[in-house]
Structure 1
Amino acid sequence: MELFHVLNRGVEKRNIVMDDKDRLRFVQGLYLYNDENLLDRNTRRFSKEKAISTVRKKLVNLHAFCLMDNHYHLLLSPVDADMENLSAFMRKLNMGYAKYFNEKYRRVGALWQGKYKKIYIARDSHFLHIPYYIHLNPLDYKFYEWRSGEISNTLDPISFLKKYKWSSFLDYFGTKNYPSLLTTDVLKNMLGTQEEQIATIKSIISNPDKTNFSEIIELSD
């Protein structure tokens, strides 16, 4: 199985979501567009009910994700190790959401800064740290110092993450937030129990291993 960290940002770093309705629409798209049977020309016609009631043939396995105001992170593996499946999913997701956003806000032009960035998870150290990097991204809203290891009170950031619902963090933390979206078996053993995750998060945000995260950040820029 090949894992890829996939991300994209709004053009000129603009916001890609304006409210929770937009956030929900993007997350619903992670489900709807992950279907070989949904043709590209149908991405404009979003129907959650139709997606649930028909037989789906997944294009990718989604292992983790985080939606931020102006960008997103996905951890994906293409079904059957077929990169065409990953490309098809990303094309549908980006195009479908951009159409929704531009129509809703009566705008024209590109929403995304480019196609998308795809990073192959080739090293064990990258694999071990990327789920935490993705899930800790929301701390940038309130606890940006987590990246430099300057957080002394680690309870507040963890409490904040537990309340942030636009990522897969809760699904690995014992709460079924988006169970229909995710393939969790690959990461569950690695992330461990809630207690083990808390211990790892505390370690990261109070004294992060800059070498491991710096590699992820460098590849993501």
Structure 2
Amino acid sequence: MEIYHLLNRGVEKRNVVLNDADRVRFIHDLYAFNDLNDVDANHRFREFKSPHVRVPLVDIYAFCLMPNHYHILASEIEEGGISMFMRKLNMGYAKYFNEKYKRSGVLWQGTFKRILLQRDAHFLHIPFYIHLNPLDMAFPQWRAGKVRNIDKALKFLAQYRWSSYLDYSGVKNFPSILSQELLADVLGSSARQKRIIKDIISSPNLAREASKLE
């Protein structure tokens, strides 16, 4: 099984979500477009009921949505599933965004960036890196391992809904999107995750290694 770190940014680093309604839409798209079947880009928030049977394209293990970019950790279920899923996701969300804000043109910098995890160390650290991204908005010094108020940083992460961090911390946030079994042992308990996060954001060497993963 090959696991990939997938990411994309808004064109010219522009914000791609402007409010919580956009964030909810993007998160919902992670679920809706992860389907081999055709999905209307103008889909509404609803449960897909019989006779529609979802055929997932990928397993999503972790994700984080930021104001101008996103990160996804995933592997293919269907052959070519990652390319198909990412095409649906990027095009579908761009269509929603452009129609809502009456704009035209591309929303994303390109198709998407795909990084194959080739080393065990990479696999062990990438979920933490993805979940630490929101700290850029309040504690950018985490990338240098110089966060002084650790408890405040952890509280900020616990209040940030738009990633898979909460689901791995015992809080059901967006569980229907995730395949959690693979990372459950890697991340461990909520207490273990907090210990590792504390080490990363307060240690220059560990933070430097984490920041190399993008």
Partners of 1:59 and 1:79 within 8 A in 2: yes
Q: Work out whether residues 126 and 212 of structure 1, in 8 Å CA contact, stay in contact via their aligned partners in 2.
A: no
* Structure 1 residue aligned with 2:84: 88
Distance verdict in 2 for CA 1:70–1:139, change over 3 Å: same
CA distance in 2, matches of 1:74, 1:100: 20
Match of 1:72 in 2: 70
Give the CA RMSD over aligned residues.
1.3
Matches within 5 A, 1:177-188: 177-188=173-184
**Residue range with higher mean Cα deviation, 207-216 or 164-173:** 207-216
> Residue 213 and residue 52 in structure 1: after superposition, are their counterparts in 2 closer, same or farther (change >3 A)?
farther
Distance across 1 between alignment mates of 2:28 and 2:95: 14
Q: Residue 120 of structure 2 aligns with which residue?
A: 124
The secondary structure found in structure 2 opposite 1:66 is: strand
Q: Tell me if structure 2 keeps the 8 A contact 1:32–1:48.
A: no
- Which TM-score applies when normalising by structure 1? 0.92
How far apart are 1:92 and its partner, in Å?
A: 0.3
Aligned to 1:37: 37
Q: 1: distance between equivalents of 2:136 and 2:148?
A: 16
Match of 2:107 among 102, 107, 111: 111
Amino acid at match of 1:72: Y
**What is residue 138 of structure 1 aligned with on the other side?**
134
TM-score, normalised on structure 2? 0.95
Structure 2 residue aligned with 1:148, among 144, 163, 175?
A: 144
Percent of paired sites with the same residue: 53
* Alignment check: 8 A CA contact 2:142 2:207 kept: no
Q: CA deviation at 1:51?
A: 2.8
Distance, in Å, in 2 between the alignment partners of 1:178 and 1:30 is 10
- Residue type of the alignment partner of 1:58: P
Identify unmatched segments of 5+ residues in structure 2.
none
Deviation at 1:48, TM superposition (A): 2.9
Aligned equivalents of 2:47 and 2:63: distance in 1? 24
Q: CA deviation at 1:214?
A: 4.2
Q: Is the 8 A contact 1:8 1:72 kept in 2?
A: yes
SS at match of 1:98: helix
Structure with greater helix share of residues: 1
- The residue matched to 2:83 in structure 1 has which SS? helix
Matching residue within 171, 192, 196 for 2:192? 196
Which segments of structure 1 move beyond 6 Å, counting only runs of 4 or more? none
Aligned pair in 2 of structure 1 residues 52, 180: CA closer, same or farther (>3 Å)?
A: farther
Shift of 1:213: 2.0
Residues of 2 paired with 1:214 and 1:162: CA distance?
A: 21
- In the alignment, which of 165, 170, 175 is matched to residue 171 of structure 2? 175
For residues 122 and 38 of structure 1, what CA distance do their matches in structure 2 show? 32
Contact persistence 2:64–2:72 (CA under 8 A): yes
Gaps of 5+ in 1: none
CA distance in 2, matches of 1:130, 1:96: 27
Alpha-carbon distance between aligned partners in 2 of 1:100 and 1:74, rounded to the nearest angstrom: 20
